[in-house]
Structure 1
Amino acid sequence: MYSKQEVSTIKQAFWTAFGKYMKPILSADGEFISWSNYKTGIPGVSFKLEADNKTASVTILITQADAELHLAFYEQFELQKNMLEATLEESDWDWQFQATDDYGKHVSYIRKELQGVSVLRQEDWPALISFFKSRIIKLDEYWSSAKYGFEMLL
């Protein structure tokens, strides 16, 4: 069993290693970006990479507080679902419009999870990095052209 400080230190070491591994990879637009802290440029839409002691996930998260805009963002993703799935080269992501975050706020998400891995086990890090790398690069490729449809909603 790890202390909270040990868990924090191990997680920080993983994300630092991931960041160093991804640093030389340019975005689809040819720019240097922070892959582990991906910025979409659209308020209320983010891409999250998360790992704990049981799972890892890549999430498209909609947190827009304005209900109409929140719905419009989710519907825009639904309209672009074929393009998203074609770019990701997988169609088994979990789509949830009615969800709540840890603070009880309404969120929507599109998520892919990897079960049976732990960020606390260094031997799982290659599988985690592979899981995150391929999906965040493909999400970036998708977002490079898809973001304009979202900008038009603002």
Structure 2
Amino acid sequence: MFSREEHSRLRAAFWTQFGQLMKPFKSEEGKRINWTNYKTGVKSVFFRMDADKKKCGVGIYLTHKDPDIQQLIFEQFEEMKSYLHSVLEEEWEWELHTKNEMRQTISRIYIEKEGVNMFKPEDQADIYEFLKPRMLKLDEFWRDTKEIFVDLSK
């Protein structure tokens, strides 16, 4: 069991290493990008990665405070579901109006991999190989669809 400080240090090292792994990759628009803190450019739409002692995952998170607007954005993603899944080359989970760890209402489109532990060095390569292609494919999807969401969030 790790102390709080050790836990924070190991998490930071894990994400720093992932950032270094992703550094050579530019966005689909040819720009340098901070993959661990991906900026969609649309308020309340986030691409997030997570890893812990039991699993890792990546997803699209919708956090608009107004549940009706959040649902509208979610429905717009649903309209593009077949395109999203074709770019990702897999199907993801879809959740409208769930609660996050801070008890806020969010919606998310995500995929997780169970049975990996970010604190085990032997699992880290598997986690990185799970996250990397999915973030690159999300970026590809976003290049083609971002303007729809920019217009929707105005």
- TM-score relative to the length of structure 1: 0.96
Q: Deviations over 1:127-150 (max 9, x none)?
A: 011011000000000000111111
**Structure 2, unaligned runs of 5 or more:** none
Q: How many Å apart are 1:72 and its aligned residue?
A: 1.4
**Structure 1, unaligned runs of 5 or more:** none
CA contact (8 A) 2:38 2:46 kept: yes
1:100-139 aligned at under 5 Å gives the runs 100-139=99-138
CA contact (8 A) 2:56 2:113 kept: yes
Structure 2 counterpart of 1:96: 95
Q: Distance in 2 between matches of 1:129 and 1:142?
A: 20
Q: Deviations over 1:33-91 (max 9, x none)?
A: 00011010110000000000110010110001123321111001000001100000001
Q: How many Å apart are 1:152 and its aligned residue?
A: 1.6
- TM-score relative to the length of structure 2: 0.96
SS in 2 for 1:152: helix
Aligned-CA RMSD value: 0.9
Structure 2 counterpart of 1:5: 5
Q: Percent identity at matched positions?
A: 39
Q: How many pairs does the alignment contain?
A: 153
CA contact (8 A) 2:38 2:47 kept: yes
Q: Distance in 2 between matches of 1:85 and 1:60?
A: 13
